[in-house]
Amino acid sequence: MTIRMWDLAAAEPDRRFSPHCWRAKMALAHKGLEVETIPWRFTEKETIAFSGQGLVPVILDDGKEVHDSWAIGCYLDERYPERAPLFACEQAKALAYAFKFWVETAVHGPIFRGVVLDIHGSLDEKDKGYFRASREKRAGKPLEEIAANPKQAVADLRGALTPVRSALVQQPYVCGSAPAFADYILFGAFQWARAISPLRLLEPDDPVYAWRERMLDLHGGLARNAKAYPVWA
Ligand SMILES: N[C@@H](CCC(=O)N[C@@H](CS)C(=O)NCC(=O)O)C(=O)O
């Protein structure tokens, strides 16, 4: 039975820009599972009320509801152990869990500062007020102030990526010779930016750029073929 997934969309229903939803979609593809994605807007809380909370991704797999991208990754490995693992062992899973929090602070932070106005500009009209109010409350300042220095945001991002860059000089994926969930965690952040903003985050001579190219090609070009801005050559 096809898995259903509620997936954050901009005004254009096929512009899917959530970093957390991208993790889940890449994980589902990694497992070779069929998924039907349902475009969802920030203010459509009632649509996912059955999950008992208000964030996406949410999946329904044969009547079983799972929300939160990390929980979805764990669920998929438990439910489908015969398919390619997202975590090679408990130790790899624990390390990926720590990596997730690093990505959400060191990587999501500067990307958000770089693309927040593009996000706002791309949203369905009914979402714009909610997005502005919730993000301004969280940051304690107007969106325009958060976005005041995109050059600095890009420089901060490139600096933050130093440890991952060093690893990617030696190995093709964060997880080694083949991609796994930690790669999808980091990649979700890049696909978030690429889906919503023309801001150039990486230079082509950056090993992280080459990694992103490999990630874009995975699973039949799932991410590359999604609606997005071009990756600069
Ligand atoms: N920890 C959650 C975070 C999910 C999350 O923050 N989702 C965002 C989209 S990227 C959302 O649904 N936001 C709705 C809102 O802000 O009201 C996960 O990893 O899935």
Q: Mind listing the pLDDT tens digit for each residue in 42-57? A: 999 999 999 999 999 9
Take residue 159 and report the two structure tokens written for it.
């600096």
Q: What is the pLDDT of residue 22?
A: 98
Ligand 1 atom with least separation from CA of 70: 19
| Residues contacting 216, CB < 8 A, separation 6+ | 223, 224, 231
Average pLDDT on 156-165 reads: 98
Ligand 1 atom with least separation from CA of 72: 20
Q: What is the pLDDT of residue 1?
A: 81
Closest residue CA from atom 6 of ligand 1: 55
Q: Mind listing the pLDDT tens digit for each residue in 178-191? A: 999 999 999 999 99
How far, in Å, is the centroid of ligand 1 from the Cα of 212?
A: 23
Confidence of residue 232 (pLDDT cuts 50, 70, 90): low
- Cβ of residue 18 lying under 6 Å from some atom of ligand 1: yes
Average pLDDT on 139-155 reads: 98
| Residues contacting 75, CB < 8 A, separation 6+ | 59, 61, 64, 66
* Spatial separation of the C-alpha atoms in residues 12 and 16, rounded to whole Å: 9
What strands lie across the sheet with 64-67, from one edge to the other?
35-40, 3-8, 58-61, 64-67
Q: Helix axis angle, 181-196 relative to 19-30, nearest 10°?
A: 130
Task: List the one residue out of 93, 134, 100 whose CA is nearest residue 116.
Answer: 134
Average pLDDT on 70-87 reads: 98
Q: What is the pLDDT of residue 233?
A: 44
Average pLDDT on 133-154 reads: 98
Confidence of residue 230 (pLDDT cuts 50, 70, 90): confident
DSSP β-ladder status, 3-8 and 35-40: parallel
- The mean of the pLDDT values for the chain is 97
Q: What is the pLDDT of residue 231?
A: 74
Fold of domain 1-233: Glutathione S-transferase Yfyf (Class Pi); Chain A, domain 2 (1.20.1050)
- Cβ of residue 56 lying under 6 Å from some atom of ligand 1: yes
